[in-house]
Chains A and B, each alone.
Chain A
């Protein structure tokens, strides 16, 4: 009897808070449809990990094995990138390569947040891991956090995925604060030329070579993303492309979510650091959006044909939510305004930009030789 009661006796207020957090994540996934594929497994994983004496996270527990195999080795984020690459149509970006610069500008949140985290007392490695939440890209956040701040992987992942699902709530007020109704009404060129199949096939290879040469540490991320895209575009691997988009994506997302949830053990998660990370994650998304919009406004000072500055905000890589938000806002100001293709172009550029920025940061921080 004492053995049976031991588990109940080991429950503390922290355990109960973690159950509640797991429950809230599951609620948000089911009721609010916020990134349900991730938040539900994360929420349930958090509950599994916090049951006293849980066999799921003991030395040979299944979540420990999944963590060691998939997160510690960086395998899950890499496999997710192959799936994302197979899902992304880079056509809108190839039709308007100019959008690439919005993909770079909207990484502004990474830099500002890293600086903020550093000034709040986090080490450089921790600060960079927190700043990467601004990549608006879950797998990249997990990849960097695992490399530099393994203890913070739980809160960083939760922040990254939560705010990605909240993009429709975060971006509009920031965009409205920085633009005038006239600017939001600016129309974009609808006559986009089709892109040849050869260009589509060569693009992922060239991007891998360029990004890999500039930031060799980004090869794993950019290479897997572009490999997935090559499978999609080559035209002879339809079965593999569909498998990557569906089975691979679904399976790895499931395992990734529950494994991340298992890192949310009360002793590590219920700290001031977690609260600060959640706050800074929001800060990162706000400054990403602001960076993109302000960069577009800066360009408008010189461009003969003005760009709708909202397109800049789509440069964050929360794909495709951000592009949809921008299109919705544009149509609200002017029902005949279609900026979706440009927004999607900036959005996929954000995917490239976030990986490149992460790769460069990993390279630069690693080269410092900090412990």
Chain B
């Protein structure tokens, strides 16, 4: 693979896409956590 501007652009676009994809998964994970563990069990306090 050559170190060209096209390669750079491809890597940057991939990176931007994967970063957003990762954030979408973490967002979904937080939503599930908040849904299934809405509050603390008083015995756990």
Contacts and interface: CB of A to CB of B under 8 A. Distances in A.
Contacts of A357: 15-16, 19
A353 B37 contact: no
Contact of B30 (A97, A214, A364): A97
A21 B9 CA distance: 35
Interface string B8-44: 1101101110111111011101110110011110001
B12 A198 contact: no
Contacts of B1: 368-370
Contact of B40 (A196, A210, A353): A196
A250 B40 CA distance: 34
Interface residues of B, number: 31
A222 to B, nearest CB: 10
Most chain A beta carbons < 10 A, residue from B1, B22, B29, B44: B22
Contact of B21 (A115, A214, A361, A370): A214
B11 A100 contact: no
A196 B18 contact: no
Contacts of B33: 94, 198-199, 202-203, 206
Contact of B23 (A202, A353, A369): A353
A199 B32 CA distance: 9
A207 B26 contact: yes
**What bracket does the count of chain A residues touching chain B fall in?**
35 or more
Given A198-B37, A214-B21, A356-B22, A114 B27 contact: no
A369 B3 CA distance: 10
Contacts of A352: 23, 26
Given A114-B12, A203-B30, A352-B26, A104 B19 contact: yes
Contacts of B8: 114-115, 118, 124, 127
Nearest to A131: B12
Main secondary structure of the interface of A (DSSP, over half): helix
Nearest to B38: A196
A80 to B, nearest CB: 22
A115 B11 CA distance: 10
Nearest to A118: B8
Contact of A124 (B3, B14, B19): B3
Contacts of B3: 123-124, 368, 370
A352 B8 CA distance: 23
Contact of B22 (A119, A123, A211): A211
Interface string A103-132: 110010001001100110001100100000
A197 interface: yes
Nearest to B28: A97
A214 B21 CA distance: 9
Given A197-B44, A199-B34, A203-B33, 17 more contacts: A100-B26, A115-B8, A124-B3, A194-B39, A196-B37, A196-B39, A202-B33, A207-B29, A210-B22, A214-B22, A349-B23, A356-B19, A356-B22, A356-B23, A357-B15, A370-B1, A370-B3
The 10 closest A-B pairs by CB, nearest first: A97-B30, A198-B37, A199-B33, A368-B1, A104-B23, A111-B12, A357-B19, A360-B15, A118-B8, A100-B23
Interface of B: 1, 3, 5, 7-9, 11-12, 14-16, 18-23, 25-27, 29-31, 33-34, 37-40, 44-45
